Amino acid sequence: MAQSTPVRRTPKKERDPKRIIAPLVVLAVLYIGLEIFLRVFNVAAYVMPTPTHIIQATISSFHIILPDFLFTLKIICVGFCIAIPAGILLAALFSQFDILVKAMQPVVIWLVITPMITLIPLMTLWLGTDPNLRVIIVIIQATPIICLNTLNGFTHVEREKLELARSVGASKLQTFVSIIFMNALPQVFTGIKLGCIFSTIGAVSADFVSRGQGLGDRIIKFTKYSNFEESYGCIILIALIGITLYTVVEMIEKRIVLWKK
> HSE-up of 206 (CA within 13 Å, CB side)?
32
Of 76 and 165, nearer to other proteins (C-beta) is: 165
Residues 169-198 contacting other proteins, CB under 8 A: 169-171, 174, 178-179, 182-183, 185
214: left (phi over 0), alpha (psi -120 to 50) or beta: left
Of 7 and 125, nearer to other proteins (C-beta) is: 7
By CB under 8 A, is residue 11 in contact with other proteins? no
Q: Where does this chain touch other proteins (CB under 8 A) — which range of 24-32, 76-84, 137-145, 168-176?
A: 168-176
The string of DSSP codes covering 130-191 is -GGGHHHHHHHHHHHHHHHHHHHHHH---HHHHHHHHHTT--HHHHIIIIIIHHHHHHHHHH
By CB under 8 A, is residue 1 in contact with other proteins? yes
For 72, the 3-state DSSP assignment is helix
Minimum distance, C-beta of residue 193 to other proteins, in the bound complex (Å): 19
Minimum distance, C-beta of residue 169 to other proteins, in the bound complex (Å): 4
Residues 196-215 contacting other proteins, CB under 8 A: none
Minimum distance, C-beta of residue 99 to other proteins, in the bound complex (Å): 20
Exposure b/e, 156-178, CB count within 10 A at least 16 = b: ebeeeeeeebeeeebeeeebbee
By CB under 8 A, is residue 6 in contact with other proteins? yes
Minimum distance, C-beta of residue 161 to other proteins, in the bound complex (Å): 7
Minimum distance, C-beta of residue 154 to other proteins, in the bound complex (Å): 15
By CB under 8 A, is residue 165 in contact with other proteins? yes
**Who's near 189: CB < 8 A, 6+ residues apart?**
249, 252, 253, 256, 257
